[in-house]
Structure formats: structure tokens, C-alpha cells
């Protein structure tokens, strides 16, 4: 469960410090005639990264808790699309605008977000937990465009009240105690497996080493075009995700995305191996492989994982477990980037992409075999499915 205040804090923490450290770094370049203060820049990245990581925990939860069941998947996907739009805008500004100006614009974005969060509605689940039932009903009614006494509003409040009464003592239970509950333990393990496939599937490597990978594949492309093309592709993928998530469901989209990504990574690995052995491969093969993998990540792998993550836990334990899961996911991303260089040097770049293909095959298994369809289902229904019980 997440409150409006938590999202507010994540927007404000780190933003001012990030800009200040960035300014220090820039001034050090000026006064030292090219000698940069890497420490200031690292501090800035850390101060910006901590609240950004918090937002990956809080925003999907907040969106889920204010959304009705039939559109929650599309709305969580929408947040991912705006993230990709932000990447495109920042990359474009970084290529054509002054460094200091970009920093001040970067400070302006969370400032505007803070203003909007002040007027944003509080999470109804949070209000119910605080026993502010009238305020919770008014919030749901406003969000749904219905009167407070409407049947839909009353039913939602009753469901939240029943969950709150049933799990009132959960907050006193330790993390290990939570995992003793069979449904929550299964959900937790499933989400850990999904985050492993998500954050080790090779996307972050392509994002950070796209120029090197293309060069090794025999592709010549303008660096600025390459930089802007990846977020542009991700925006297109997000549009597809947002359009189809409530029609097809989470399971088909996630499975299909992993299939495309697995084939793309295997194809790219084969291209790199062929180039290493002196065989000429048309450059478009590598380009198509990279495009397909990036598109699949944005169209299914990233948004569907976070949609399921926001839907699968009861609101009493959601924040505790998702915090651990997302932190683990970022650790996996770090490991992916840390081992990429050594493995490429030792076994060749193609080996790394065959490994990425294998990770995506693992993702296919998780999505097709282990993951239940969560579209339109309540948390209780999802838990019943995980326990092997039939749900009408």
C-alpha cells in the first residue's frame, strides 16, 4: 500500500542535490581547464537514482490502487510510455542543448510533478487503512465519475474493508512471517523469477553498448540517430502495450515479447559470431535484431512485468514485497552490466548474446507455464489460482 505522501517524497528527494552536484561538476571543468570532478557527478547520479528507484516501487502501486480493474493494466503501461518519452526528450536535449540548461530543465520536471502530487487524490486503500472511509468513498467516486452511494463505489469500499479486517495484524509480521503464507510466498517467488528474466534479458546491455554492438556487427550509423532511435522504438512499443493489454491480457503479451526477444538475441549473437569468423552478414540483420529486441522489451517485457507486480499482492503486503523485488531487479541489472565486459573479453561478444537469448527462453517458461492470467481479477482470485483452486 502506498500513500500520496510517499510519491511526493520520491519526487522531491534527490532532485535539488542532483542539479547542485551537476553544477559543481561543470564548474570544476571550467576552473580546472578540463579536469573534471567525477566524485560530484557520481554523487549526483546516486542522489537522482535513489528517488528514481523509489518511484519504480511506488508509482505502479499508486496507479493500481486508484484504478478500476478493467483499465489498471493500460494505466500502468501508460506510466511506462511516459518514462520512455522522458528518455527520448532527455537524450534529445543532451545532444543539442547546453549542459547547465539541461540540468535546470531536469530540476523543473520533478518540481512540476510535486505540484501535481499535491492535488492528486490519496490512495483509497491507504485511506481505508487509516479508517477514513468517507474520504475513501469520495475519492473512488471522484475517480470513477460516480456518486458516493453508487453500488460500484460501495462494493470497492467493502472489499477494502474486508481485506483490512482480515489482514489487520499483517503489519506486525516480519518479512519471513509474510513468506510463510503460501499464496504470498508463491507470488513472491514468481515475481522474483519475472524480475530475473526482465533485468537480465539483455536490454540494458543494448541500451549502454548499442554503438559498440552495432560497430562489431558491421553497422555504420550516426551516433545521434542511434541514441534517439532506442527511446523512439520504446515509445512505439509502449503504445502497442497500452492498446492491447486489456484486450489480450498480460500472459500472451509477456510470452510473445519474450519469444521475440529470445529470437532477436540469438540472431544478433549469430551475426557477431559470423563477423568474428570472417563471414559477411548483411548489416540490416543486426539492425532488425536490435530493433526487435528493444521493441519487445518496451511492448511487453517491461510493462507487463510491472502490471503483474502491481496486481498480484494484497495491499497489506504489497509495499514490503515489491520493495524487495524491485531492489533485487536493479541488482540483477547491475550484475548484467558488470559481467558483460569480462565475458565478452574472455569468450566473445556473441557468447553474451546467446546467454541473453537463454534468459529470454527462461522468461518464456515463466510467462507461459508459471504465470496466471491476472487481467480483470481481484487479488483474492489471483491467490486462489496460485494455490491451485478454480476461480469462476
Write the DSSP string, 357-376: HHHHHHHHHIIIIIPPP-TT
Domains of the chain by residue range: 4-171, 175-386
φ, ψ at 315 (rounded to 5°): -65, -15
Q: What is the pLDDT of residue 359?
A: 95
Closest CA to 79 of 364, 324, 310: 310
Sign of CA dihedral 266, 268, 271, 277: negative
State which residues of the chain have pLDDT below 50. 4-8, 11-36
Q: What is the pLDDT of residue 166?
A: 66
Sign of CA dihedral 203, 207, 208, 212: positive
CATH topology for 4-171? Growth Hormone; Chain: A; (1.20.1250)
- CA distances for 31 relative to 25, 34, 36, 37, 103, angstroms: 10, 8, 9, 11, 19
Q: Do domains 4-171 and 175-386 have the same CATH topology?
A: yes
Class of domain 175-386: mainly alpha
DSSP secondary-structure letter at 131? Answer: T
- CA distances for 388 relative to 131, 167, 287, 310, angstroms: 34, 22, 43, 21
Q: What is the pLDDT of residue 167?
A: 65
pTM: 0.77
**Residue length, the chain?**
392
Contacts with 163 (C-beta within 8 Å, 6 or more apart), sequence order? 314, 315, 316, 379
Q: What angle do CA 337, 185, 338 make, to 5 degrees?
A: 5
Q: What is the pLDDT of residue 173?
A: 63
pLDDT in tens, 11-58: 444 444 444 444 444 444 444 444 446 777 777 777 777 777 777 777
- CA distances for 301 relative to 73, 203, 353, angstroms: 13, 10, 17
- CA distances for 76 relative to 3, 204, 286, 313, 376, angstroms: 17, 21, 31, 15, 14
Contacts with 34 (C-beta within 8 Å, 6 or more apart), sequence order? none
**Residue 208 cell numbers, joined:** 549502454
Amino acid at each position: 500500500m502506498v500513500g500520496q505522501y510517499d510519491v511526493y517524497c520520491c519526487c522531491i528527494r534527490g532532485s535539488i542535490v542532483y542539479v547542485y552536484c551537476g553544477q559543481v561538476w561543470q564548474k570544476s571543468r571550467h576552473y580546472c581547464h578540463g579536469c573534471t570532478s567525477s566524485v560530484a557527478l557520481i554523487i549526483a547520479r546516486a542522489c537522482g537514482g535513489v528517488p528514481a528507484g523509489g518511484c519504480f516501487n511506488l508509482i505502479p502501486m499508486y496507479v493500481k490502487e486508484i484504478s478500476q480493474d478493467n483499465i489498471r493494466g493500460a494505466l500502468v503501461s501508460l506510466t511506462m510510455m511516459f518514462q520512455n518519452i522522458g528518455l527520448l526528450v532527455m537524450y534529445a536535449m543532451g545532444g543539442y542543448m547546453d549542459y547547465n540548461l539541461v540540468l535546470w530543465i531536469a530540476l523543473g520536471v520533478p518540481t512540476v510533478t510535486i505540484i501535481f502530487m499535491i492535488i492528486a487524490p490519496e490512495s483509497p486503500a491507504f485511506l481505508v487503512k487509516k479508517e477514513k472511509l468517507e474520504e475513501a468513498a469520495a475519492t473512488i467516486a471522484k475517480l470513477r465519475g460516480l456518486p458516493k452511494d453508487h453500488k460500484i463505489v460501495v462494493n470497492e469500499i467493502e472489499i477494502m474493508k474486508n481485506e483490512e479486517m482480515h489482514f489487520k495484524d499483517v503489519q506486525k509480521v516480519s518479512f519471513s512471517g509474510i513468506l510463510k503464507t503460501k499464496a504470498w510466498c508463491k507470488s513472491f517467488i514468481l515475481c522474483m523469477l519475472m524480475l530475473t528474466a526482465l533485468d537480465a534479458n539483455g536490454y540494458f546491455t543494448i541500451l549502454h553498448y548499442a554503438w559498440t554492438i552495432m560497430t562489431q556487427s558491421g553497422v555504420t550509423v550516426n551516433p545521434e540517430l542511434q541514441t534517439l532511435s532506442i527511446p523512439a522504438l520504446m515509445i512505439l512499443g509502449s503504445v502497442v502495450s497500452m492498446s492491447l493489454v486489456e484486450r489480450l491480457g498480460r500472459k500472451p503479451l509477456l510470452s510473445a515479447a519474450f519469444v521475440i526477444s529470445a529470437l532477436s538475441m540469438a540472431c544478433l549473437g549469430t551475426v557477431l559470431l559470423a563477423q568474428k569468423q570472417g563471414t559477411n552478414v548483411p548489416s540490416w540483420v543486426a539492425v532488425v535484431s536490435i530493433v526487435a529486441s528493444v521493441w519487445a522489451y518496451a511492448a511487453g517485457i517491461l510493462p507487463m512485468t510491472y502490471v503483474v507486480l502491481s496486481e498480484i499482492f494484497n495491499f497489506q503486503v504489497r509495499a514490503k514485497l515489491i520493495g524487495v523485488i524491485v531492489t533485487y531487479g536493479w541488482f540483477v541489472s547491475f550484475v548484467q552490466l558488470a559481467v558483460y565486459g569480462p565475458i565478452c573479453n574472455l569468450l566473445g561478444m556473441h557468447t553474451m548474446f546467446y546467454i541473453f537469448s537463454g534468459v529470454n527462453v527462461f522468461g518464456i517458461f515463466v510467462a507461459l507455464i508459471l504465470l496466471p492470467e491476472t487481467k480483470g481479477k481481484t487479488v483474492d482470485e489471483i491467490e486462489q489460482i496460485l494455490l491451485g483452486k478454480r476461480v469462476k
